[in-house]
Amino acid sequence: MSTPVNITDYTKIPTQAGVSPMTSDQTDESFWSSNPISSFFIDTYRNVHQHRESLSLSNPGSVEDLNKEVARDVFLNQYAFTGLRADLNKAFSLNPAFQTSHTFSIGSTNLPSYAFSALFANDDLFVQGNVDADFSLSGRLNYGWNKHNISKVNLQIAHGQPTMCQLEQDIKGSDFSINFKTLNPTFQLLNASEIFTGVAVGSLLQNVTPNLALGLEVLYSRSQSGTPADSGVSYLTRYVSTNKNWIFSGQLQANGAAIASFWRKVSPNVEAGIETTLQAGMIPITDPVVGTPVGIQPTIEGSTTVGAKYEYRQSVYRGTIDSNGKIACFLEKKILPTLSILFSGEIDHFKQESKLGCGLQFETAGNQELLMMQQGLDADGNPLQAPPQ
């Protein structure tokens, strides 16, 4: 009596010479390729993928770093301070990196009188925490699952202010970057349905040519479950010259603001940047006799900031001037391998206001090897030789 053959198991089907049975993978591929609808999308994807590979596109960077050369490197947004300040930084190891920092401040409106921070980082993990004299806590954690996926968590607990929690996911492809983030996400039950409250942002930046990147950012926010949600779309662009000595970036935000930035590498030691912002809005029209509002009219407000950065062997100077009559500068001068002096100044001619800040920055090492490296010496006390360019 012959053994019955299981028709679902293709390996048990008797074969003829020169003929092999079809496997399940081949059957599925034949189905999708023979289907006119699916085959159209498959062929389109393959053609687009081959075209993208032929362009040799690179990753355009994240939306957060769209104009970092101007906003972070040249301008004083992250450097200016007021009052007297002293920073004591101590590095305990380089791999993995672990260091602590103590910051003392007097007469500053935005810096606490004392703050302590610690940092730990290796190839996959980055952790940083801060606590100040008012017991305000802030922390940041970045974990790289691989070179294409990075998860981020930001947490802030301040006295007298609401707690802030931000979750973020970065996805970096060969020629695109995707970012998802949410701020204080909660789900509340309303009319037997889950309602999202908080802020959610999704962004995409795609290189369309080796020099030009286009992108968009979608924002959705709802403060309370009983209030209507707000949403908007912003459009982004970034152009990098072939020799990478100048970069242009532009943003058309959902609130009607347009931002254009231009960065230029003037010389090996000098960088310059300019940023222009235009904001559309509405202002009320009042009756000159009665003084009551009778209507509204559209208006456009704008400002332009020009800045430069001079970087030398032992000092870095940054200066900016804007169309609102504000002039600002920041100087960092290294007088010893482990000691730097900081100077920050700002004058607002229209408001007749001025701000001044002076600081010291100490760099110490937790062992003799790190101390020698900070002083530019090797383990034998000889000067470190710069690698050939």
Res. 387 pLDDT band, cuts 50 70 90: very low
Q: What's the pLDDT at 285? A: 75
pLDDT in tens, 4-16: 544 445 445 555 5
pLDDT at 269 over 90: yes
CA gap 168, 152 in Å, rounded: 5
Residue ranges of domains in the chain: 63-375
Mean pLDDT of the chain: 83
CA distance 262 to 239: 10
Examine the pLDDT at 2 and tell me if it is beyond 60: no
The answer to which of 42-51, 82-91, 128-137, 286-295 has the lowest mean pLDDT is 286-295
Q: What is the pLDDT of residue 8?
A: 47
Position 369 pLDDT exceeds 70: no
Going by pLDDT thresholds of 50, 70 and 90, the confidence category of residue 27 is very low
Q: What is the mean pLDDT of residues 65-72?
A: 93
The pLDDT value recorded for residue 214 is 96
SS3 assignment for the chain: CCCCCCCCCHHHCCCCCCCCCCCHHHHHHHHHHHCHHHHHHHHHHHHHHHHHHHHCCCCCCCHHHCCHHHHHHHCCCCCCCCEEEEEEEEEEEECCEEEEEEEEEECCCCCCCEEEEEEEECCCEEEEEEEECCCCEEEEEEEEEECCEEEEEEEEECCCCCCEEEEEEEEECCCEEEEEEEEEEEEEEECCEEEEEEEEEEEEEEECCCCEEEEEEEEEEECCCCCCCEEEEEEEEEEECCCCCEEEEEEECCCCEEEEEEEEEEECCEEEEEEEEEEEEEEEEECCCCCCEEEEEEEEEEEEEEEEEEECCCEEEEEEEECCCEEEEEEEEEEECCEEEEEEEEEECCCCEEEEEEEEEEEEECCHHHHHHHCCECCCCCECCCCCC
* Across 40-44, 118-122, 124-128, 335-339, least confident range: 40-44
Question: What is the Cα–Cα distance from 78 to 261, expressed in whole angstroms?
Answer: 17
pLDDT reported for residue 370: 58
Q: Give the closest residue to 67 by CA, choosing from 217, 263, 218.
A: 263
Of the spans 265-274, 281-290, 357-366, which averages the highest pLDDT?
Answer: 265-274
pLDDT more than 70, % of the chain: 81
Q: In terms of Cα–Cα distance, which of 104, 108, 101 is closest to 81?
A: 108
- Segment 26-45 shows an average pLDDT of 67
Q: What's the pLDDT tens digit per position in 110-163?
A: 888 999 999 999 999 999 999 998 889 999 999 999 989 999 999 999 877 889
Residue range 289-304: mean pLDDT, rounded: 77
Using one digit for the tens of pLDDT, what is the confidence trace for 211-256? Answer: 999 999 999 998 877 778 889 999 999 999 999 999 999 999 988 8
- pTM listed for this prediction: 0.77
pLDDT at 368: 53
pLDDT in tens, 163-217: 999 999 999 988 899 999 999 888 776 665 667 888 999 999 999 988 999 999 9
Please tell me the CATH code under which domain 63-375 is placed. 2.40.160.10
Report d(CA 374, CA 106) in Å as an integer: 28
Contact (Cβ atoms closer than 8 angstroms) between residue 92 and residue 368: no
Predicted confidence (pLDDT) at residue 45 exceeds the cutoff of 60: yes
- Whole-number pLDDT of residue 389: 36
